[in-house]
Chains A and B, each alone.
Chain A
Amino acid sequence: MTEPDNDQESGRGWLTQWVPGVALWLLIGAILLCAIFIQPWDRRSEMAIRALCGANLNGIGKGIFLYQDEHDDIPPPNLAALVADGQPMGLFRCYGTDTPKAATTQPADIEAHCDYIYAPPPADMEKGKKLVVVFELPANHQQEDVNVLFSDYHVETIREMDRFMSLVQELNDYHAKLRRAKS
Chain B
Amino acid sequence: MKRKTHTFTVVTTFCLLLAVGVWIVLGDRKPNRPPCQPAMSISEPQIRKVWKAIGTFSKENNHRPDTLEILTGGGYLKPADLFDERRKETPALTTQPHRFAINPDVLYFPALRAEDPADMVLLCTVLLAEDGEKYHIIFNDGRYAALTSHELVMALNRTYEYIGSKVITAPATSQPER
Residues in A lying within 8 Å of B, measured CB to CB: 16, 20-21, 23-24, 27-28, 30-31, 34-35, 38, 42, 46, 74-75, 77-79, 96-99, 111-112, 114-120, 122-123, 137-140, 142-144, 161-162, 165-166, 168-169, 172-173, 175-176, 178-180, 182-183
Contact A138 B167 (CB under 8 A): no
5 A-B pairs (CB sep. < 8 Å):
A30-B21, A75-B168, A172-B111, A173-B66, A182-B166
Q: B17 is contacted by which of A20, A27, A140, A168 (Cβ under 8 Å)?
A: A27
On chain A, the residues within 8 Å of B102 by CB distance are 162, 165-166
- For the complex, count residues of B whose C-beta is within 8 A of A: 58
Contact B103 A162 (CB under 8 A): yes
Interface check B149, CB cutoff 8 A: yes
Chain A: CB-nearest residue to B156: A117
Q: Which residues 127-177 in B have Cβ within 8 Å of A in the complex? A: 127-128, 149-150, 152-154, 156-157, 160-161, 163-170, 172, 174-177
Q: A98 is contacted by which of B14, B31, B156, B165 (Cβ under 8 Å)?
A: B31
Q: A77 is contacted by which of B21, B34, B165 (Cβ under 8 Å)?
A: B165
> Closest CB-CB distance, B35 to chain A, in whole Å?
7
Contact A172 B17 (CB under 8 A): no
Q: A143 is contacted by which of B104, B128, B161 (Cβ under 8 Å)?
A: B128
Contact B108 A172 (CB under 8 A): yes
Contact A172 B107 (CB under 8 A): yes
Docked complex Cα distance between A10 and B34 (Å):
56
On chain B, the residues within 8 Å of A97 by CB distance are 149-150
> Closest CB-CB distance, A171 to chain B, in whole Å?
9
Contact A142 B34 (CB under 8 A): yes
